[in-house]
Amino acid sequence: MALTLPFERALNLGGRWVAARPGHEQIGIMNDTYVTSGYFETLRIPLVRGRSIDARDSSTSEPVIVVNQAFVHRYSPDEDPIGRQIAMGGPPRRVIGVVGDVQQKSSWDVRRLGPVNATPASYVPASQASDGMIKMVHAWFSPSWIVRSAVAAPEAGRAIERAVHTVDPLLPVARFRTIDEVRGEAVAAERAQSVLLGALAGLALLLAAVGLYGLVASSVVERTKELGIRIALGATPRQAVMAAAVPGLLFGGAGLAAGLVLARLASTAVTSLVWGVSSSDPVTYAAAAGTMLLVSAVASLVPALRILRMNPVRSLRC
């Protein structure tokens, strides 16, 4: 059981190191959640060093805390945090372990690169959370019970509901969610924005293709006599097709160059929509440029190929 899940926004707290060097006491804001024994094992969050929270951490034992790797990198980069004490209000808590990072919402972290990020986080035993803290945090958060199951989600949900009713038939279960659903909720807005931008980009590509097609087709009609004379005087069909298609290819190349420059300048606008990859990722730029070149070539060559059906003698007679 835990106060919050991965991909969710957690409680934000600050603290300070006990007995730290002057000027190194303060700990900035971090995500904090209470958990029960087995939390890390159930979610397959790796234990990097130290120990996990277990049955030894009761309400009468020494207050303890587990931190993640992002916390260590930011707030204790030069000293092993195991054994150090953190004051967060109430008795100081001793760091007993370091676990791997998980993605969480973090509206306070201005350096985040996306809607979820591996931010500094701490975990305290639920048995050591004070009544005052429980009452305070439950005004904004609802705890979750985490179950790892080999069966499908609906069947697991019914089994959980039966188990809860054996404890208290009047106790309702609010809802069931898979981790995939939790993650989907966390990035829903960004996914919707990305789909919208992708649809608009596809529409722009379609308009560019239609425009180039119309331009080259109109050029072929207007230059029928000229192209007929070229063929009659010895130009090969390939030369005639290229003469008709080159203007469209030049326009496509000019538009591509302008688009790459403008895309690079506007890359900061999509920084919040992508994470795990740079908004100036060269592979993405190359793929987009290749797609645009291919569309430009097809839109220019298809109408130009009509020249192959042209009768140069008839063109001369006209």
Pairing mode, if any, of strands 85-87 and 93-99?
Answer: antiparallel
State residue 148's pLDDT score.
92
State residue 249's pLDDT score.
87
CA distance 95 to 111: 26
CA distance 218 to 216: 5
Whole-number CA gyration radius for the chain: 32
Binned average pLDDT, 10 residues per bin, the chain of 318 residues: 92 88 84 94 95 93 95 92 91 95 73 73 93 87 91 90 92 89 88 89 90 84 78 81 85 89 82 71 88 88 80 70
State residue 45's pLDDT score.
95
End-to-end Cα spacing for the chain: 86
Residues 53 and 66 sit within 8 Å (Cβ to Cβ): yes
State residue 94's pLDDT score.
95
State residue 200's pLDDT score.
93
CA distance 130 to 102: 25
Pairing mode, if any, of strands 64-68 and 85-87?
Answer: unpaired
State residue 112's pLDDT score.
53
Beta partners for residue 99, in sequence order: 47, 68
CA–CA distances in Å: residue 40 to residues 13, 33, 65, 69, 73: 21, 12, 13, 14, 20
Closest CA to 42 of 5, 95, 97: 5
Closest CA to 250 of 293, 302, 202: 293
State residue 110's pLDDT score.
45
Question: Which residue is associated with the tokens 């404890």?
Answer: 167
3-state secondary structure of 217: helix
Structure tokens given for 112? 């985040």
Structure tokens given for 21? 């060097």
Closest CA to 115 of 125, 124, 123, 106: 106
SS3 content of the chain, % helix, strand, coil (to 5): 50, 15, 35
Pairing mode, if any, of strands 121-125 and 26-35?
Answer: parallel
State residue 117's pLDDT score.
82
7: amino acid identity, one letter: F
State residue 122's pLDDT score.
95
State residue 87's pLDDT score.
92
Q: What single string gives the DSSP state of each residue in 221-288? A: HHTHHHHHHHHHTT--HHHHHHHHHHHHHHHHHHHHHHHHHHHHHTGGGGGGG--SS-TT-HHHHHHH
Residues 117 and 103 sit within 8 Å (Cβ to Cβ): yes
Question: Which residue is associated with the tokens 């688009």?
Answer: 259
CA distance 149 to 247: 62
State residue 85's pLDDT score.
94
Instruction: Kindly report, residue by residue over 186-213, the tens digit of the pLDDT.
Output: 888 888 988 998 899 899 989 988 888 8
Residues 98 and 72 sit within 8 Å (Cβ to Cβ): yes
Residues 165 and 158 sit within 8 Å (Cβ to Cβ): no
State residue 304's pLDDT score.
84
Length of the chain: 318
State residue 109's pLDDT score.
55
